[in-house]
Amino acid sequence: MSEKNTIILAAGKGTRMKSKLYKVLHRICGKSMVDHVLTQVSQLQMDKVVTVVGYGAESVENELGDRTEYVVQDQQLGTGDAVLRAEPILKNSKGTTLVISGDTPLFTASTLKNLFAYHDEKKATATILTSVAPNPTGYGRIVRNDLGIVEKIVEEKDANVEEKAISEINTGVYVFDNQKMFEALHEINNDNAQGEYYLTDAIEILKQADGIIAAYKMDDFSESMGVNNRVAQAAATKVMQNRINRQHMENGVTIINPDDTYIDCDVEIGTDTIIEPGVQLQAGTKIGNECVIGAHSKIIASVIHDGVTVTSSTIEHSEMMENSNIGPNSHLRPESVIGEHVHIGNFCEVKKATIGAHTKIGHLTYVGNAKLGEGINIGCGVIFANYDGKNKHETVVGDDVFIGSNVNLIAPVQISDHSFIAAGSTITDDVSRYEMAIARNRQTNKPGYFNKLPFDSAD
């Protein structure tokens, strides 16, 4: 078998994104565009994968790690020049080389595989992946002769009126005979509207040297979308989102309104889970079976076990065990672990805390830097005061404790198993097993006092 290589072009500035962030690092469903490309390419068992980086090189290398080799293109002189930067690594390869851009995030491994197969079948020197665009503006056009044979690719800015009317576009993906590609690239010049060395010019050069130029036309234009600006980024996100949602539905997840559900790549969801509209599930999230993720919940890099119900809540870097529930309108901040059958109700915030099984935290409560045991009942409006202005301190609450409404627990403080804190208490000292703590002023009632107040007397 002949060698197979890939060159990913990722050195362009991406001026049209109008961003501080390097273009190919912009995200589509939680994954950078160039990572999408590399992920698909990696499924094809390549001998060598070389990514051409330039502007922002270091950030791309941090993103992709050692899954690819890198070459640097110091000056962005065009796509043809970019491919040439890979020559030192690939020049001895006798095989075929796939060239793909880091800003076309929607191509699937299966399309790329078909492209290689077509190239082999046609015994071609170069095979261009093309598609028919509803609006071809901005893309290179495929110019064919009267017999339908590909002659060349013309860039939008260099195209005449007739060429501009062509709707078959260059997707920017090609398979080349590796050695012939580099030979042709040494012959291209930058005599064109953009003053760039165009990779696309290699096609005409190979054609004139009697090479066989094939074009593999794909059916689905949406897969070939290139992202040069934020409008295209949103359009590509939509396509990717549909793809991800469809996959989950095929796996047995109910998605009430797939057009309004935002699930990142690499999120896992078990069967018979229901996802309501407006939900966002971000990268690193795993959801078990038979959960209900209620409308407008946002879950970031968290693990949700089987049978959990999340109602309109936000969960970040946390874990919810089987059959627990939360919401509406509550927030788990990082490093919270919620035990089995725990109930967290409305307007609660939990941060860096573990909560034991069957504990109930119904309403308007803040739990921070705490370890809570099992079977605890926490009333309404309880505050774990964890911060003294300088340091965070821990609160520990044992099993089967009852904490009345409107209690403040001033950390560090330890509340032992089977104890009781009276409503309205501000607790600064530890409480022992079987004790009741009450820490508030006694009530004083003053008869007739109302009539001394400067108000009109009651009717």
Catalytic residue positions, numbered? 363
Q: At residue 38, what is the residue type?
A: L
Helix ranges (H only) for 102-229 are: 109-121, 161-164, 178-185, 201-208
The yes or no reply on residue 196 touching Ca ion (CB under 5 A) is no
Copy the structure tokens of residue 80.
Answer: 């043809």
Kindly state the helix (H) or strand (E) to which residue 201 belongs, with its residue range: helix 201-208
Q: Classify residue 271 as left (phi > 0), alpha (psi -120 to 50) or beta.
A: beta
Copy the structure tokens of residue 402.
Answer: 């009852």
Q: Answer yes or no: are the C-beta atoms of 403 and 397 closer than 8 Å.
A: yes
Copy the structure tokens of residue 9.
Answer: 């072009």
Secondary structure of the chain: what % helix, strand, coil (to 5)?
A: 25, 30, 45
Handedness of CA 159, 164, 169, 171 (dihedral sign): positive
- Find the shortest distance in angstroms from Cβ 58 to ligand UD1: 15
Burial (Cβ within 10 Å: 0-12, 13-18, ≥19) of residue 89: middle
The yes or no reply on residue 172 touching ligand UD1 (CB under 6 A) is yes
How many CA within 13 A on the CB side of residue 187? 15
The yes or no reply on residue 12 touching ligand UD1 (CB under 6 A) is yes
Nearer Cβ to ligand UD1, position 196 or 264? 196
Residues 225-264 binding ligand UD1 (CB under 6 A) are 226, 228
Burial (Cβ within 10 Å: 0-12, 13-18, ≥19) of residue 153: buried
Kindly state the helix (H) or strand (E) to which residue 125 belongs, with its residue range: none
Within its chain, how far is the Cα of 308 from the centroid? 23
The yes or no reply on residue 104 touching ligand UD1 (CB under 6 A) is yes
Residues 94-153 binding Ca ion (CB under 5 A) are 103
Nearer Cβ to Ca ion, position 192 or 228? 228
Nearer Cβ to ligand UD1, position 11 or 206? 11
The yes or no reply on residue 276 touching Ca ion (CB under 5 A) is no
Residue 76 touches which of ligand UD1, Ca ion, none (CB < 5 to 8 A by kind)?
ligand UD1
Within its chain, how far is the Cα of 139 from the centroid? 27
Residue 439: count other Cβ atoms within 10 Å of its Cβ.
16
Residue 170 touches which of Ca ion, ligand UD1, none (CB < 5 to 8 A by kind)?
ligand UD1
Residue 332 touches which of Ca ion, ligand UD1, none (CB < 5 to 8 A by kind)?
none
The yes or no reply on residue 323 touching ligand UD1 (CB under 6 A) is no
Residues 191-210 binding ligand UD1 (CB under 6 A) are 198-200
Q: Which of 101, 314, 336, 419 binds ligand UD1 (CB under 6 A)?
A: 101
- Find the shortest distance in angstroms from Cβ 102 to Ca ion: 9
Q: Which of 7, 9, 301, 326 binds ligand UD1 (CB under 6 A)?
A: 9
CA distance 79 to 365: 57
CA–CA distances in Å: residue 454 to residues 257, 401, 446, 447, 459: 59, 45, 16, 16, 15
Q: Which of 29, 82, 150, 236 binds ligand UD1 (CB under 6 A)?
A: 82
Nearer Cβ to ligand UD1, position 16 or 333? 16
Quick one: which segment of 66-74, 224-232, 240-248, 312-320 binds Ca ion (CB under 5 A)? Answer: 224-232
Handedness of CA 156, 158, 164, 166 (dihedral sign): negative
Q: Which residue is nearest to ligand UD1 (CB)?
A: 140
Closest-CA residue to 76 (of 172, 190, 178, 179): 190
The yes or no reply on residue 155 touching ligand UD1 (CB under 6 A) is yes
- Find the shortest distance in angstroms from Cβ 325 to ligand UD1: 45
Nearer Cβ to ligand UD1, position 151 or 260? 151
The yes or no reply on residue 226 touching Ca ion (CB under 5 A) is yes
The yes or no reply on residue 282 touching ligand UD1 (CB under 6 A) is no
Quick one: which segment of 74-82, 291-299, 366-374, 430-438 binds ligand UD1 (CB under 6 A)? Answer: 74-82
Quick one: which segment of 17-25, 65-73, 226-234, 378-386 binds Ca ion (CB under 5 A)? Answer: 226-234
Binding site for Ca ion (CB under 5 A): 103, 226, 228
Contacts with ligand UD1 by CB under 6 A lie at: 9-12, 24, 52, 73, 76-79, 81-82, 101-104, 139-140, 153, 155, 169-172, 198-200, 226, 228
